[in-house]
Amino acid sequence: MSEVNKLGKATLKFDGKTIELPVFEGSEHEKAIDIRRLRKETGLITYDPGFVNTGSCQSEITYIDGEKGILRYRGYDINDLAEKCEFVEVAYLLVHGKLPGKKQHQIFSTHLNSHSMLHEDMRHFFDNYPDHAHPMATLSAMAVSLSSFYPELETSKKENIDIRVTRLLSKMRAAAAFSYKKSIGHPIVQPRHDLSYCENFLNMMFRTPVNGYEPDPVCVRALNKLLILHADHEQNCSASVVKMVGSSDANLYASISAGICALWGPLHGGANQHVIEMLERILKKDRGNVKKVIERAKDKNDSFRLMGVGHRVYKSYDPRAKVAKQMCTDVLDQMGVKDPLVDLAQELEEAVLADDYFKSRSLYPNIDFYTGLTYRAMGIPTNMFTVMFAIGRIPGWIAQWLEMKEDPDGRIGRPRQVYTGPTKRKVS
């Protein structure tokens, strides 16, 4: 871990006591008060629901400036990475801290191929899931099942990390495609060594015994970009869950499985599915009446929120959404696809950007606003969108988990509370 810059002390006075708490800053000048001695010396704890002001760690992986709309992995700007890299290179970057050279890329790709098949017994799991099973439920179950099939990997050390990473990346990709095939009653398609990571996924999704399939280079490029946009986002809900589970010394697969469940929620990665369902409802039920939907989203007596809008950290346009929006237009143009939901999404975005309610709260479209429209154009079904997010996020979760394991300040995650229930009483 790099050294932090010490900035002096903050003074806290309470109940006749004064304590000095160290203040430090990170490499991008984010400042923090170190409160580790607070309870011991004052009896006070901090109260911060949703961890809005709480820094849980120091990290060298991902940098976000939510005010300026900046996102960087290991110092590289998200636009640069999305433009010039393949997803597997970015996965390597997140885990190892540097982009792979030609030889490292080759070795990483060989590992991805060698570990791409699912154990036959795991494949049989799919026979017993109902056809309507949500693929996120299946994916989470498959992730934790890997710990039964590969128990030797329950170490927290960095040794064999490429094998662990590539096993997870490859096998989760296969599990995702198999769950789709199962849901439509088609036989599964096995991965192939002659195809790249993204080509393989598309082939497993769309090849059938009666129809050949050639992955469209437009879709392959788009998928690489989309997975890169999803690859990490520092201490978000699912990454924090992965680390919280890992902090108890649970294995990597169990931790990732928990992260997949956290991502599933509609306020997090599940929003991409809900955006499309919302747009479909507006088109069909509200006859495209954007004004009505905006009024509902602003009404404090209505629990409805615009999906794909707003973010805890970004108080300007989400830089991932910028790339996703441009890509959506490009992909649909290149594929010659016309989708009325795209026009509706653009109309809705314009209405959001012009409205005082959203402006005053700094609410902008987030990554999930446009990604689903691109997945849809590629033929990926709506209930698979959050699975796509999960596949992209796996390298980020692993990188965050590994960093936590190697953190000399690391301890089991265990927040405190302020109890407000009944005081001591007796059963009468």
Query: Residue 45 or 267: which CB sits closer to ligand CMC?
Result: 267
- As to burial, measured by CB atoms within 10 angstroms (0-12 exposed, 13-18 middle, 19+ buried), residue 19 is middle
384 Cβ contact partners less than 8 Å away, ≥ 6 residues apart: 135, 176, 180, 375
Query: Residue 215 or 372: which CB sits closer to ligand CMC?
Result: 372
Q: Which of 267, 340, 359, 379 touches ligand CMC (CB under 6 A)? A: 267
Q: 44-73: which residues touch ligand CMC (CB under 6 A)?
A: 50
305 contributes a contact to ligand CMC by CB under 6 A: yes
Is residue 311 flagged as an active site residue?
yes
Q: 338-377: which residues touch ligand CMC (CB under 6 A)?
A: 361, 363, 366-368
322 contributes a contact to ligand CMC by CB under 6 A: no
Q: Which stretch binds ligand CMC (CB under 6 A): 34-42, 88-96, 156-164, 303-311?
A: 303-311
Structure tokens at 125: 């799991």
- Among the listed residues 162, 232, 318, 368, the single catalytic one is 368
| Rounded least distance, CB 59 to ligand CMC, Å | 16
What residue is closest to ligand CMC based on CB? 310
297 contributes a contact to ligand CMC by CB under 6 A: yes
169 contributes a contact to ligand CMC by CB under 6 A: no
Q: Which of 100, 135, 191, 269 touches ligand CMC (CB under 6 A)? A: 269
Distance CA 91, CA 166 (A): 9
Q: Which of 227, 231, 293, 306 touches ligand CMC (CB under 6 A)? A: 306
Query: Residue 297 or 398: which CB sits closer to ligand CMC?
Result: 297
Is residue 48 flagged as an active site residue?
no
292 contributes a contact to ligand CMC by CB under 6 A: no
| Rounded least distance, CB 71 to ligand CMC, Å | 11
Torsion angle (degrees, nearest 10) of CA 326, 331, 337, 340: -30
Structure tokens at 240: 């924090």
Q: Which stretch binds ligand CMC (CB under 6 A): 181-189, 212-220, 264-272, 418-426?
A: 264-272
Q: Which stretch binds ligand CMC (CB under 6 A): 173-181, 247-255, 262-270, 408-416?
A: 262-270
Q: Which of 121, 125, 126 is nearest to 149 (CA)?
A: 121
271 contributes a contact to ligand CMC by CB under 6 A: yes
309 contributes a contact to ligand CMC by CB under 6 A: yes
- Among the listed residues 96, 111, 233, 311, the single catalytic one is 311
Query: At 175, phi and psi to the nearest 5?
Result: -60, -40
**8 Å CB contact between 264 and 133:** no
Neighbour count for residue 130 (Cβ, 10 Å): 8
| Packing angle of the helix pair 271-284, 340-354 (nearest 10 deg) | 100
Number of residues engaging ligand CMC in binding (CB under 6 A): 21
User: Radius of gyration (Cα) for the chain, nearest Å?
Assistant: 23
The string of DSSP letters for 329-366 reads: HHHHHHHT---HHHHHHHHHHHHHHH-HHHHHTT--B-
* Helix (H), strand (E) at residue 77: strand 76-77
| Rounded least distance, CB 271 to ligand CMC, Å | 4
324 contributes a contact to ligand CMC by CB under 6 A: no
- As to burial, measured by CB atoms within 10 angstroms (0-12 exposed, 13-18 middle, 19+ buried), residue 290 is middle
Q: Is the dihedral of CA 398, 400, 403, 407 positive or negative?
A: negative
Q: Which residues bind ligand CMC (CB under 6 A)?
A: 50, 233, 236, 267-269, 271, 297, 305-312, 361, 363, 366-368
Residue numbers annotated as active site:
311, 368
